[in-house]
Amino acid sequence: MSPPTGAGPAGRLHCLDALRGFDMVWIVGGREVVDAWATATDAGWLHAFAAQLRHADWHGFTAWDLVFPLFLFIAGVAMPWSLSRRAEQGADRGRLARHVVRRGLVLVALGVLYNVRADSLESHRFASVLGRIGLGYLGAGLVVLRWGVRGQLAWVVGILAAYHAALVWVPVPGFGAGDLAPGHTLTDWIDRELLPGRLHREVRDPEGLLSTVPAVATALLGALTGAWLRRRERDTLTSLLLLAAGAFLLAAGGLWSRSLPINKNLWTSSFVVWTAGWSLLSLGVFHQLVDVLDLRRWFVPFTVIGMNAITIYLLERVVPWDGWIAAAIPATWHGALVVELLGVGLLLRWAVMVGLWRRRWFLRV
């Protein structure tokens, strides 16, 4: 496959930044605001909403389980635009492949640094959210550069089928084959055997080694969506087709879950298809609002975060937001509930992102 070229009939897809920002808002303070209002009002619908902003314990799905795969799916959608722009600037396939590898490994390295602990190497967690994004992007990017649409679809099907077979049929020492209880799965055993340092859940890690493989399929499904969107006009029909595709994948993921449960911790094949369905539905809605109806100004609060998503994620580790808040607000407001009810933490983070956005300061990995 030759490097993708051409900007497509409609140019830049603005809804991606807005949707990415909407996704990140919940990580950087949105969930805390919902929790505070649910506590303060004791409203049943707010408690139900807050419950959706927690991960499913094991099998099952909540809205919070979509945050991570949606981000990775969006990274895949943006891939054809990124690679095409570099190809138009003269990069051949070799240079594009080096860019994909470098970007993926930088994200892995940032993930390792994000988890750094001062006490000892044994207590350090090497698996990370950024590491999974980096490896998912790297794997999908190399497939996109080498294979066309049919080849990419074959990779998606092959990855998901092979991963399903491995979870169900490969025997795990001490537990046998097909035992999907926490700590008993093939992914958990491989992480205990091969991952250095500590695991996030002691005997397992939700961002471990084998479960990163199906994450490549998540990014590939995004890349296939992006390649299709580059050939489409920004019209309502495109939005409807995205919604229809999302509904189809939701149905397929639901059917698949009858033989392999939807499980974020394992990133099961059914989870990949199910979350891709929700991602397409989300993209279809944002595409219609932002790119078709041209309501971009209304979505600027999300866009300023979405254009610097990695930056705000890294700042969560190094910036003492709580200390800044305590120093900036009156002492009588220092109760945690009041601060969260007002969304002070979220507003502070957003103000920093606005400052970076106005100066056009973006972290390019």
Tens digit of each residue's pLDDT (9 = 90 or more) over 145-172: 999 999 999 999 999 999 999 999 999 9
Q: Are 225 and 238 in contact (CB under 8 A)?
A: no
Number of other residues whose CB lies within 10 A of the CB of residue 86: 17
Residue 336: is its pLDDT beyond 70?
A: no
Separation of alpha carbons 355 and 212, rounded Å: 35
Contacts from 358-362 at CB under 8 Å and sequence distance 24+? 361/308, 362/307, 362/308, 362/311
What are the angstrom distances between the C-alpha of 36 and each of 41, 42, 47, 268, 364?
9, 10, 10, 33, 34
Check pLDDT > 90 for residue 136.
Answer: yes
With contact defined as beta carbons under 8 Å apart, do 138 and 101 qualify?
A: yes
Out of 46-60, 176-190, 323-337, which region has the weakest mean confidence (pLDDT)?
A: 323-337
Residues composing the chain = 365
d(CA 93, CA 87): 8
329 and 340 Cβ atoms separated by less than 8 Å: no
- The 3-state DSSP class for residue 172 equals strand
Among all chains, which residue has been given the structure tokens 């996030």? Answer: 200
Q: What proportion of the chain, given as a percentage, has pLDDT over 70? A: 92
Q: What is the pTM of this model?
A: 0.92
What CA–CA distance (Å, rounded) separates 278 from 62?
Answer: 11
The per-residue pLDDT for 7 is: 40
- In the structure, what pLDDT confidence band is assigned to residue 11 with cuts at 50, 70 and 90? low
Between the CA of residue 290 and those of 82, 239, 302, what are the distances in Å? 20, 11, 11
**Chain mean pLDDT for the chain:** 90
- Ranking 51-65, 276-290, 341-355 by mean pLDDT, the lowest is 341-355
**Tens of pLDDT along 23-55?**
999 999 899 999 989 988 889 999 999 999 999
Asked if the model's pLDDT at residue 3 lies above 50, the reply is: no
- b/e code 207-218 from CB counts within 10 Å (16+ = b): bbbbbbbbbbbb
Q: Nearest-CA neighbor of 19 among 311, 241, 306, 362?
A: 306
> 32, 344 in Cβ contact below 8 A?
no
The reported pLDDT for the residue numbered 333 is 56
